Amino acid sequence: MYRIHSRIGRRPTVQATTGRVTRRRARTRANLLDAAFAVFAAKGFGHVSIEEICDAAGYSRGAFYSNFSSLDELFFALYEERADLIADQVAGALALDREGLDVPAAVDRVTDVLLLDHDWLLVKTDFLVHAARDPEVARSLLRHRARLRQAIADRLARAHTPLPAVLGGTDGAARAVVAAYDGVTVQLLLDRDAARARTWLKHLLTALLTDGSGTPDHARN
């Protein structure tokens, strides 16, 4: 319930209070997500309690339940936040040039900006395992992966250089890009070498989207 403030000569208003409440709640939610990310990365989703997240964020259980109905809901909100960031990063890196999409240049941009964070990969892996055991969560995860693939496919469709025919069109190319990212991040999860992961991702994407040398197939004929 909002409090109503009044001043002499003015009509009562709830606007200022509403704005403060909204900003405070958004800040509380963001702080809970940040704290949860750190705790999940350190201990794993199945080993974390609501109390631990509240303690890490400096809030009560009441603050938690005013933003999330369960630990599962918070976990998925955290995944959505990072998944949306990755989709935006990829879409931005594949921004069209004046004549279309320059694939080799786009590969460089993708590998430069793409989120390759060890803690995120720990949380992501926990989420994949969680989704594999829960059909409803799995469906939500598949929707996010489809959104990422579509963002990539939309831009590849307007590339001014043809993609290798073996990929079977832009949808196949988008799936290959996501698969390459998944594969590289598994290696990064084990060896923690982000620089090497970016190098391998660049090689993989170049090989997938061109003839392997950075030159589109049609340019060699």
pLDDT score for 165: 80
pLDDT score for 56: 96
Of the pLDDT bands very low, low, confident and very high (cuts 50, 70, 90), residue 127 is confident
Most confident among 83-87, 134-138, 167-171 (mean pLDDT): 134-138
pLDDT digits (tens, 9 = 90+) for 170-212: 888 888 888 888 888 888 888 888 888 888 888 888 888 775 4
pLDDT digits (tens, 9 = 90+) for 68-98: 999 888 988 888 888 778 777 777 777 666 6
Task: With H, G, I as helix, E, B as strand and everything else as coil, classify residue 97.
Answer: strand
| Cβ count near 127 (within 10 Å) | 20
Lookup: tokens for 187: 């290696």
Q: Which residue has the higher pLDDT, 221 or 32?
A: 32
The position carrying tokens 């069109």 is 169
pLDDT score for 207: 85
pLDDT digits (tens, 9 = 90+) for 1-18: 333 343 334 444 545 555
For 214-220, the CB contacts below 8 A with 24+ separation are 214/104, 216/103, 216/161, 216/162, 216/163, 217/162, 217/164, 217/165, 218/161, 218/162, 219/161
pLDDT score for 104: 79
Q: What share of the chain in percent tops pLDDT 90?
A: 20
Over range 118-127, report the average pLDDT.
86
pLDDT score for 21: 60
Tell me the backbone φ, ψ of residue 163, rounded to 5 degrees: -90, 155
pLDDT score for 216: 43
Lookup: tokens for 30: 């963001």
Tell me the backbone φ, ψ of residue 97, rounded to 5 degrees: -85, 180
Contacts of residue 172, Cβ cutoff 8 Å, sequence gap at least 6: none
Could you give the angle at the alpha carbon of 29 between the alpha carbons of 28 and 31, nearest 5°? Answer: 65
pLDDT score for 96: 63
DSSP annotation of 163: P
Report whether 178 contacts 126 (CB < 8 A): no
Contacts of residue 182, Cβ cutoff 8 Å, sequence gap at least 6: none
Q: Which residue has the higher pLDDT, 142 or 87?
A: 142
Task: Of 176, 57, 40, 182, give the one whose Cα is nearest residue 116.
Answer: 182
DSSP annotation of 5: B
DSSP-assigned beta bridge partners for residue 13: 5
Tell me the backbone φ, ψ of residue 69, rounded to 5 degrees: -85, -20
- As a whole number, the mean pLDDT across the chain is 79
Query: Mind listing the domains of the chain with CATH numbers?
Result: 14-68 (1.10.10), 71-216 (1.10.357)
| Cα dihedral 175→179→180→183 (10° resolution) | 180
pLDDT score for 204: 87
Count Cβ atoms within 10 A of the Cβ of residue 4 and give its class: 0-12 exposed, 13-18 middle, 19 or more buried.
exposed
User: How far apart are the C-alpha atoms of 3 and 20, rounded to whole Å?
Assistant: 11
